[in-house]
Amino acid sequence: MAVALAFAFTPQFDYNDWMRNTEGLQRGLRIYDNPDTVYLPWDLVLLWPYYLLTAAGARVASVLVVGWLTIRCHWPLMYFLAVLSSPYFIWTMLISNIDVLALLLPVVLWESVKGTRWQTAGWTVAIALLLIKPQGSFLLIAYWIWSCRRNWRELFWPLAVAGLLVVSTSLIGQPPLLLQWLDNVQNPSADNRLFWSINNVSLSETLGLLPAVAVVSAALIGVRLLLQRRGFWTKNHTYASLLLAAMLLSPYASSQGVIAPLAFLPSASGVVIQYVLIFGAAALGLYSGPYDAWWALLLGVILLYLYRSPDTIDHSPTPENLNATDDKTVSLPG
């Protein structure tokens, strides 16, 4: 808690993400009168908790989410500090970004309430939070739906509530908010054009969709096969891969969101590698713009390979950990 509260005093840029993304909420249905507003219509509802937290509160809450993940995975303190020391996490704190709350929190919540009497309510909240950033979560949502295909009733209410929220907010307004949002996206403001050009980890924007799918699939499937052969692939690896792949394949995803997948893969060596590669590339003028996506993919693959903790978010032991006590084989989670 003390560490979390300390982040309330993090220095901020003059115009941080909290200001940028919440300033139009009080305009209600006139939210898209500001051409800078490109959040989806349902965010008119979903961003209110973020607004009420305040910028400082959002930073504190983000650190607490990392703490919850640490407890859930039974990680040592070093791993908690490794996540907080990541340059991506520091960047999210400097701009009071929502990505930890919109992408990491839902996963921790989903796994924590699974099999409890709070499952339906928790899963509903988790899916709703993921809808704030669909560019980073669409593969994860698809994965959850596929995982629950034999027990589809468990997802009925979470998906029904999400669908009702999306449809109702998209169709209200004159013209409908969805059309107003599309107009702002297709005719971006000067600020958004600049921001999207210098802070985008979309590989599909750089290469095109099909080449990006081929590159991302080859990289992530390759590291999975390598780790599976050594018995190290866990649910943490699966979640990290799904979040990272979605960001790389979406038309736009901001670089600060990369902290969500990397948070599942902490290590001291991983933090050092992040600083060496990011700041080394920046010094050479090879980090921003079209290079962002390649660095995100490279760091993702490296951290996937380096993460070898037997403790995972779903409490499933790796085969190596289980074989330490008996000779039975188990299927790999995820």
Chain segment 113-131, per-residue pLDDT in tens: 999 999 999 999 999 999 9
> Would you state the pLDDT for residue 316?
64
Neighbours of 74 (CB within 10 A): 13
The least confident of 131-135, 143-147, 188-192 is 188-192
Contact yes or no for 121/229 (Cβ under 8 A): no
Summarize pLDDT for 59-72 with one digit per residue, the tens.
999 999 999 999 99
Is residue 331 predicted with pLDDT exceeding 90?
A: no
What does pLDDT average to over the chain? 90
Q: Is 268 left (phi over 0), alpha (psi -120 to 50) or beta?
A: alpha
Is residue 81 predicted with pLDDT exceeding 80?
A: yes
Summarize pLDDT for 261-298 with one digit per residue, the tens.
999 999 999 999 999 999 999 898 888 778 899 999 99
The Cα 78–Cα 99 span in angstroms is 22
- Burial profile 247-280: b = 16 or more Cβ within 10 angstroms, e = fewer: bbbbebbbbbbbbbbbbbbbbeebbebbeebbee
Backbone angles phi, psi at 302, to 5 degrees: -65, -45
The Cα 48–Cα 44 span in angstroms is 7
Amino acid at 34: N
- pLDDT band at 230; cut points 50, 70, 90: confident
> Would you state the pLDDT for residue 328?
37
Is residue 318 predicted with pLDDT exceeding 90?
A: no
How far is the CA of 186 from the CAs of 109, 181, 192, 199, in angstroms?
Answer: 34, 9, 11, 18
Quick one: which of 250, 251, 242, 257 has its CA closest to 296? 257
Contact yes or no for 69/263 (Cβ under 8 A): yes
The Cα 291–Cα 203 span in angstroms is 9
> Would you state the pLDDT for residue 325?
36
- pLDDT band at 3; cut points 50, 70, 90: confident
Q: Read off the pTM.
A: 0.91
> Would you state the pLDDT for residue 288?
76
